[in-house]
């Protein structure tokens, strides 16, 4: 009975929400997240005890959960990280389980349109694109170039932050802190500059 009421409340909230959507493309490690999600603030997190979404942020779901067992894919922000996850409830389970497939740090109320998302609990990253109700990000340190009379300090970014630069321009130069090199965007790709 408890789950039936929660599911009915979820479906009602889902129907009443605006029909704003995000479509995810580009996920290769877990391609099941490549789908369209609908904005549904206030939905779903009443039964998700594993993670709570950050206040003032939007959350998106692939379909309303119905019946038990159920699987539901979600996009939400928790502790400053946007996550692509799945919530599953099995027959006989006392609480749902959350599986985090991708995450990216972004202090925004909506998920980033183009970003390098970390794969689960690994150090690997994938460029995943969202279209729809999302925001474009640029790494904040890109504007941190300092020019002094005898010194030029370039932006210092990780390889993941460099990969997340949207619409890089030919000739852009940054210092890659992951690979400890100067990187140049040659018009098609970022490449470490050699000393030869």
- In this structure, the answer to whether residues 181 and 121 fall within a common structural domain is no
Model confidence at 90, pLDDT cuts 50, 70, 90, reads: confident
Q: Between the ranges 32-36, 84-88, 90-94, 161-165, where is the mean pLDDT highest?
A: 32-36
For 51-75, the pLDDT digits (tens) are: 788 888 888 888 755 555 577 888 9
Model confidence at 42, pLDDT cuts 50, 70, 90, reads: low
Three-state DSSP state, 48: coil
- In this structure, the answer to whether residues 33 and 64 fall within a common structural domain is yes
Please tell me the number of Cα atoms within 13 Å of 9 on its side-chain side: 13
pLDDT at 194: 79
Environment class of residue 76 by beta-carbon count within 10 Å: exposed (0-12), middle (13-18) or buried (19+)? buried
- In this structure, the answer to whether residues 101 and 15 fall within a common structural domain is yes
- Based on the structure, what is the number of domains in the chain? 2
Model confidence at 46, pLDDT cuts 50, 70, 90, reads: very low
CA-based nearest residue to 184, from 164, 156, 175: 175
Q: Does the pLDDT of residue 138 top 70, yes or no?
A: no
Q: How far apart are CA 37 and CA 64, in angstroms?
A: 10
Select from 83, 105, 132 the last residue of a domain.
132
Q: Between the ranges 53-57, 166-170, 182-186, where is the mean pLDDT highest?
A: 182-186
- Dihedrals phi, psi of 153, to nearest 5 degrees: -105, 120
Q: How far apart are CA 47 and CA 66, in angstroms?
A: 13
Q: Residues of the chain with pLDDT > 90: what percent?
A: 20
- In this structure, the answer to whether residues 87 and 18 fall within a common structural domain is yes
Domain that holds residue 113: 2-132
pLDDT at 108: 86
State the DSSP code for 133.
S
- In this structure, the answer to whether residues 37 and 95 fall within a common structural domain is yes
pLDDT at 52: 80
Does residue 69 have a cis peptide bond before it, meaning omega lies within 30 degrees of 0?
yes
Residue 89 tokens, joined = 């409830």
Environment class of residue 133 by beta-carbon count within 10 Å: exposed (0-12), middle (13-18) or buried (19+)? buried
State the DSSP code for 142.
G
Model confidence at 34, pLDDT cuts 50, 70, 90, reads: very high
Q: Residues of the chain with pLDDT > 70: what percent?
A: 75
Quote the pTM value. 0.59
Which positions ≥6 away from 88 have C-beta within 8 Å?
69, 70, 71, 72, 96, 97, 99
């Amino acid at each position: 009975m408890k789950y039936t009421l929660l599911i009915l409340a979820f479906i009602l909230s889902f129907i009443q929400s605006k029909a704003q959507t995000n479509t995810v493309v580009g996920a290769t490690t877990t391609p099941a997240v490549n789908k369209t999600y609908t904005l549904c603030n206030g939905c779903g997190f009443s039964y998700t005890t594993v993670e709570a979404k950050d206040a003032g942020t939007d959350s998106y779901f692939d379909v309303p959960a119905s019946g038990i067992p159920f699987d539901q894919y979600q996009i939400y922000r928790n502790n400053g990280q946007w996550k692509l996850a799945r919530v599953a409830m099995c027959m006989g389970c006392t609480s749902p389980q959350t599986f985090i497939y991708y995450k990216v740090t972004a202090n925004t109320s909506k998920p980033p349109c183009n970003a390098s998302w970390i794969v689960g609990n690994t150090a690997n990253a994938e460029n995943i694109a969202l279209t729809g109700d999302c925001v474009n990000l640029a790494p904040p340190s890109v504007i941190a170039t300092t020019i002094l009379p005898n010194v030029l300090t370039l932006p210092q970014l990780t390889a993941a932050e460099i990969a997340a630069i949207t619409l890089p321009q030919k000739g852009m130069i940054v210092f890659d802190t992951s690979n400890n090199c100067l990187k140049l965007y040659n018009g098609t790709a970022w490449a470490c500059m050699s000393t030869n």
